[in-house]
Amino acid sequence: MTTARILSGIKQTLHEGHAVKIDLSEASALTGSGDGIGGRTFFDNAFAALRFANPIRELSRVIPAAGSSVQFVAKTGNAANSTNPWLYAATPNTGSPNIATSIWQLPTRVVSASLPVRTAVMSDINYLNETIVEDMMLEFAQLEGASMILNNDQTGSSTTSTGSTNGLRGLNYYASGSAAYGSSGTAITDGIHTILTVSQNGAAFVYDDLVNMAKSFPAQYWNLPGCAWMMHPDTIHDLRQLKAASSGNASRLLAETGDDDGGAVNNIFGWPVIANPNMETVAAGKFTMYLANWPRFVTIADVEEMTVQAMEQSAPGFITLYAERRMVSTVRDPFAGVRLVGV
C-alpha cells in the first residue's frame, strides 16, 4: 500500500509539474487502538535522566595536557631584602624565606566504560546513539567528581568506585592545618598540601561556623572571580532551616546572603553557593564544605577530550561502544581555599 502511494505521487507530480505531498501514515480498520493487533509503534526520541555532573570542573582551572604524568611548579619565598627592601642596591638571597620552588608530579588517571548495544535497537529507536554518548559523558563527569573529593590515592581499598590508588587525589584527603605546600618531589607521596581547616565543634551547624570560614579565607582572594562556597544539598537544606533557637542568627544569615530574589542560601556573604552531592555529610548536623577561589585552588589537566569508539566486530548483532577519559586533578594553590569539617 505504501509503495502504491509513492508511485501514484510520482506520477502525479510528473503530470502536473508541482510538488505533491504523499501521506504514508497507515490507517487501520481495526477497532480500538490497534496495539498488538496490527498497529504500528512510533518511537519517541530516547533520553536519559539527567546526572549530577562535576561542579568542580565548572569552576576550576582546566588545562590541556599530554603524556603519562603532569608536573606542577609553585614559586615560593621572597625576593626582596627582608631587612630593608627600600634600597637601590640588589642583594641576592636576602628574602625571608628566600626564593624557592615546590614541585609535585601526578600520573594521569583513566576512567573507561564499554557498552554493547544491539544494532537493530540502534537503528529502530530514535536518537539512541546520541543519548548513549551524552549519558556516558555525564557518567564520566559524575565519576570524576566523586573521585576529586572522596578518593584516597595513597592506599588501596576494597571499594574502588572512586579509584583508590588508580583514582584522583581527593580534596578530603589533603592534610588539615595551616595552609602549606606539601613535600617537593616527583613521588606519589609529594604534593599532599595542607588546607586551612576550620572545625565545627558544636553538635549542630550554626551561623558562626560560616563566619569563621569566611574569616579564615585569605582576603587577597575575596574579590577574584570564581570564589564560591561548595557544600552538600543537605547542608544547604539545614542552613535554610536555621532558627533562632538553634543559631540565634538565622535572620542575619538570610539578610546577609544577598538573596534579593528570595532564593535563600543562593549566596552567603556575597559569594555564590554551589551544591555538590560529593561533599560528605559526616553525621547529623555535621558537614564538610569548602570556601575557595576555585580557579586558583584546583587545577584539572585533561590529557585529551573524551574518546568514543564503536567496535562492530565484538559480537554478532552488536556494536560495542568504548569510551575513556584521562585526566589529573590537584590542589594547585593551598592558600586559596578553606575547609570546614564536622568533628
47 lies in some domain: no
Averaged pLDDT, 53-81: 91
Does 59 lie in the same domain as 162?
Answer: yes
- What CA–CA distance (Å, rounded) separates 301 from 341? 27
Residue with the larger pLDDT of the pair 289 and 92? 289
Does 75 lie in the same domain as 3?
Answer: no
Does 302 lie in the same domain as 195?
Answer: yes
Find out whether 110 and 324 touch, Cβ atoms under 8 Å. yes
- What CA–CA distance (Å, rounded) separates 134 from 140? 10
Q: Which of 222, 217, 226, 227 is nearest to 335 (CA)?
A: 217
Position 234 confidence tier, pLDDT thresholds 50, 70, 90 = confident
208 lies in some domain: yes
Does 280 lie in the same domain as 152?
Answer: yes
H or E element at residue 10: helix 2-16
For 18, the grid coordinates are 508541482
50 lies in some domain: no
> What is residue 113's predicted lDDT score, i.e. its pLDDT?
87
| Model pLDDT for residues 32-59, shown as the tens digit of each residue | 555 666 666 777 888 888 998 899 999 9
Query: What are residue 267's DSSP bridge partners?
Result: 272
48 lies in some domain: no
Does 159 lie in the same domain as 22?
Answer: no
301 lies in some domain: yes
Does 214 lie in the same domain as 66?
Answer: yes
Does 108 lie in the same domain as 30?
Answer: no
Does 11 lie in the same domain as 78?
Answer: no
Residue with the larger pLDDT of the pair 295 and 242? 295
Domain that holds residue 33: 1-42
Does 77 lie in the same domain as 24?
Answer: no
Q: Is 105 helix (H, G, I), strand (E, B) or coil?
A: strand
Does 200 lie in the same domain as 65?
Answer: yes
Does 38 lie in the same domain as 67?
Answer: no
> What is residue 7's predicted lDDT score, i.e. its pLDDT?
64
| CATH number of the domain to which 159 belongs | 3.30.2400.10
Find out whether 119 and 142 touch, Cβ atoms under 8 Å. no
| Total Cβ atoms within 10 A of residue 299 | 20
Tally of structural domains, the chain: 2
| Model pLDDT for residues 311-323, shown as the tens digit of each residue | 776 677 788 888 8
Q: Which of 310, 317, 330, 270 is nearest to 63 (CA)?
A: 330
Does 25 lie in the same domain as 121?
Answer: no
Does position 109 have pLDDT exceeding 80, yes or no? Answer: yes
